[in-house]
Chains A and B, each alone.
Chain A
């Protein structure tokens, strides 16, 4: 059954835009509480260009509430390779599948079906996320559908035969002031963006987290997935500190009515 909604090319973009409008109008109910520990200028404004804080062991502290710099469902969230001039080094089947997904109006985007997005697409998702860094473990808590990631920094190796999962299994080490995270064990056929750029279960993802100033997080993500790509490729994601606010609760399945309409062409 075709509806007006599905005749749009980026139906999902309209859904996300609607969600963003909703969240802006709901801002009166956003939890506003001054973020503790923010360096401030003499007139009380957050000083986001102050140096990054450090933990007791002298490492940069990545903890904080972060949000992608682009702030909306554009750029990389729609097309992860948008900034890559030469395009992605697709294996032929992978290039074909992106074309097919676009032609089908991305009706099978797991995001539209309230599935988890996986760690790469989550970096690009416009809603805030909280990083919590403790000795041995760094957490990322996502507003989107209360998803969370555990990044183990206790020296453990990557597992031999992990159960495939949406977020994979992550271990990390510090390289100077950069946290280098390795992840494997992904479920097959994750989507890296709304276009349907694929990630397979052969993927090894490397993230490099840097906090150059109090208010900025730089994340370099390298995808090494020989099943889908002829060579590794990388993107940069910048996130900004979200100050004096808190994450909302977002439960994707609550009163979910859209899925029966996702029929494509």
Chain B
């Protein structure tokens, strides 16, 4: 299935759903004197004094969804030969093997990057929950001081712990299953050796900046770090239910190979 067709399909779906989007005014928005939301106001703080990342967010466009290395120089991302071959196969097969096209999870950090679908961060002391509209997924990021477990079941979304570094939440994720793709158009592979470090920083009330470091020695000669991905606060709305498998008709047509 060509990527253009897939993203078009997703765009049509999103447009049709927007008239049914849940509209309820978001509480606690700082406003200017004339009542408009002041998204440049400082980021709010949680009860424990840390920046509060809670809110409904969405990636600004799909740049990193299509190409996680957008903005980097070619020499920043060095693929090992087997990885290059796998990437080429993904492209030659018209991305038909992309698990996301078969309703399987995106993996990390790709799950944050699709600017067609919002996600909701709910921050509590000890646990940060992220609810993703696309595929109706959630992540638990444990901020209770536990160390990353070793020898965990390999999973699509991994096992994540988070620590604060000043005003930045640094999230480490391991235990990924090596089946998800890192990005869509470029079809970069990710192995079960992947260790992802995400840095979430709420620059101001309305802006979240995310940077991800990919450390996957089976596929890449050295770790590489994305440029800054911007997430915009979504006001007066919420995530919808998205059940990929409901009335799913495309998969039998996604014949791999020309």
Stretch at the interface among B203-211, B219-227, B240-248: B240-248
Q: Tell me which residues across on chain B come within 8 A of A150, comparing CB atoms.
A: 131, 238-239
Question: Is the CB–CB distance between A148 and B136 below 8 Å?
Answer: yes
0 or 1 for each of A105-122: is its CB under 8 Å from B? (1 = yes): 000000001111000000
Name the A residues within 8 Å of B105 (CB-CB).
Answer: 146, 251
Contact pattern, A 27-41, Cβ under 8 Å of B = 1, otherwise 0: 001010100100000
Give the interface segment out of B30-38, B58-66, B122-130, B187-195.
B122-130
Q: Is A137 an interface residue (CB 8 A)?
A: yes
Instruction: Give the docked Cα–Cα distance between A166 and B247 (Å).
Output: 14
| B15 on the A face (CB < 8 A) | no
B243 touches A115 (CB 8 A): yes
Q: Are B240 and A163 in contact (CB under 8 A)?
A: yes
Query: Given contacts A139-B129, A141-B138, is CB(A249)–CB(B243) below 8 Å?
Result: no
Contact A166 B241 (CB under 8 A): yes
Q: State how many angstroms separate the Cβ of A183 from the closest Cβ of chain B.
A: 13
Contact among A134, A136, A249 for B155, CB-based, below 8 A = A249
- Please tell me if the beta carbons of A146 and B136 are within 8 angstroms of each other in the complex: yes
B-side contacts of A36, CB under 8 Å: 126, 144
Residues of A near B54 (CB, < 8 A) are 134
Would you call A238 an interface residue if the criterion is a C-beta within 8 Å of the partner chain's C-beta atoms?
Answer: no
- Asked if B137 lies at the interface with its beta carbon under 8 angstroms from chain A, I say yes
Using CB atoms, name the residue of chain B closest to A36. B144
Does chain A have a CB within 8 A of B157? yes
Query: Does A89 count as interface, using CB distance less than 8 angstroms?
Result: no
Chain B residues with CB under 8 Å of A154's CB are 27
The answer to whether B129 touches A132 (Cβ under 8 A) is: yes
| Given A166-B241, A251-B105, CB of A29 within 8 Å of CB of B152 | yes
In the complex, whether A167 has a CB less than 8 A from a CB of chain B is: yes
Let me know if B241 and A165 touch, CB within 8 A.
yes
Interface residues in A, total, Cβ within 8 A:
38
The answer to whether residues A148 and B122 also contact, given A115-B246, A156-B24, A249-B155 and a CB cut-off of 8 A, is no
Contact between A248 and B153 (Cβ–Cβ < 8 Å)? yes
Contact partner, B102, options A29, A115, A137, A253, Cβ 8 Å: A253
B22 interface residue per 8 A CB criterion:
yes
Over the window 130-142 of chain B, the binary record of Cβ atoms lying under 8 Å from chain A Cβ atoms (1 yes, 0 no) is: 0100001110100
A134 near B241 (CB under 8 angstroms)?
no
A254 within 8 A of B: yes
A29 in contact with B151 (CB, 8 Å)? yes
Contacts of A254 in B (CB 8 A): 104, 156
**Is the Cβ of B146 less than 8 Å from the Cβ of A33?**
yes
Residue A26 is within 8 A (CB to CB) of chain B in the complex: yes
Contact in complex: B243, A116 (CB < 8 Å): yes
A147 interfacial contact with B, CB 8 Å? yes
Nearest B residue (CB) for A138: B122
CA distance A247 to B137 in the complex (A): 14
**Partner among B104, B152, B159 whose Cβ is within 8 Å of the Cβ of A251:** B104
Look across to chain A and name the residue whose beta carbon is closest to the beta carbon of B105.
Answer: A251
Binary per-residue interface labels of chain A (159-177) against chain B in the complex, 1 for a CB within 8 Å, 0 otherwise? 1001101110100000000
Interface pair A132/B157, CB less than 8 Å apart: no
| Contact of A146 (CB < 8 Å), options: B102, B122, B137 | B137
Which residues from 238 to 255 on chain A have a C-beta closer than 8 Å to any C-beta of chain B?
Answer: 246-249, 251, 253-254
Given A36-B144, A139-B122, A141-B129, residue A114 in contact with residue B245 (CB < 8 A): yes
B245 to chain A: closest residue by CB:
A114
B232-258 contacts to A, CB under 8 A, are: 238-241, 243, 245-246
The interface bits of chain A over 247-265 (1 if a CB of B lies within 8 angstroms of the residue's CB, else 0) are 1110101100000000000
- In the complex, chain B residues whose CB is within 8 Å of the CB of A33: 146, 149
| B103 at the A interface (CB under 8 A) | yes
Closest CB in chain A relative to B132 CB, distance in Å: 9
Listed by A's residue number, 14 A-B pairs whose Cβ atoms lie within 8 Å are A63-B124, A116-B243, A132-B127, A134-B54, A139-B122, A146-B137, A146-B157, A148-B131, A150-B131, A156-B24, A163-B240, A248-B155, A249-B157, A251-B105
